[in-house]
Structure 1
């Protein structure tokens, strides 16, 4: 029996990007000094991307890395903490994850493991923390390295979870 993988990597329609306020979600968490929507002009495709399960109305949006104001250089730069927004049952759950590289193989030159730093909220009415973490893992396993923006790298990426 084939495993159903409901999540797919897609570009976000302008309507959905506005409906879910993705510009502001990105700007709230991403360390970059260049903000949305201007930043979209620097991508090959000038739209947001996400990993979406249209049947269930779930989506995963990667906001990139949080800012580190305590860097050695004295300048604000990217931290090792990455922000993913998981939208489930009409609610955004903010996950902060950190990752470390694992031993690469010929098949998977990009191999890393995610650790959970925080999640907020940690559960929803009628949905446990464990269920939400499983949905997150399903989505990240499809999103891989960089969603639809980098399918070639995704094919070489193996992800593990330390949570």
Structure 2
């Protein structure tokens, strides 16, 4: 079964401790599980391949704590956790605008960007190479797109490529 965008069951959210995983990367603002009340569907969301037991979980934007205003501001970098073989791999990904020469029809895809890896920890697993991990990450991000199941309309309008 390939990756699909889905809401996380309460059992899986507890099993993988998703509240604390989210809160680890969100140093200010509303914390989980309180934040779930603000979403239309009061559950965590992820991109999951249940057959292989893999999932991708968005943990939030990397914040700039040295902003001119003194208030933390989001950057173009995002934290994602890719769970494979019982191990969490932390990816910090940066989205940048596509080079105009790589652009496609903006009528069909008004949202266009390229993913780049800022960091990956760990960079390999005992049973899997970095190349294999990146292939799985690409599979998941291709389905996840911008915000997974929480933003299907934006996903339809987005085109991206991988710079890794």
User: In which range does the TM-score fall when normalised by the shorter chain?
Assistant: over 0.9
- What is the match of residue 151 of structure 2? 150
Q: Secondary structure at the match of 1:71?
A: coil
- What is the match of residue 123 of structure 2? 122
- What is the match of residue 26 of structure 2? 30
Instruction: Give the 4+ runs in structure 1 shifted more than 6 A.
Output: none
Unaligned runs of 5+ in 2: none
- 1:7-26 alpha-carbon deviations (Å, 9 max, x no partner): 00000000000000101111
State the superposition RMSD in angstroms.
Answer: 1.3
Instruction: Output the TM-score relative to the length of structure 1.
Output: 0.93
State the 1:101 CA deviation.
Answer: 2.1
Matched, 1:12 2:13: no
Q: Contact 2:59 / 2:80 at 8 angstroms: preserved in 1?
A: yes
Instruction: Output the TM-score relative to the length of structure 2.
Output: 0.92
Structure 2 CA distance for aligned equivalents of residues 86 and 58 of structure 1: 7
Structure 2 CA distance for aligned equivalents of residues 54 and 48 of structure 1: 16
Structure 2 CA distance for aligned equivalents of residues 50 and 123 of structure 1: 22
Taking a change above 3 Å as real, the CA distance of residues 120 and 87 of structure 1, as seen in their structure-2 partners, is same
- What is the match of residue 110 of structure 2? 109
Unaligned runs of 5+ in 1: none
Matched, 1:65 2:61: yes
Structure 2 CA distance for aligned equivalents of residues 158 and 31 of structure 1: 30
Structure 2 CA distance for aligned equivalents of residues 41 and 144 of structure 1: 24
State the 1:33 CA deviation.
Answer: 1.2
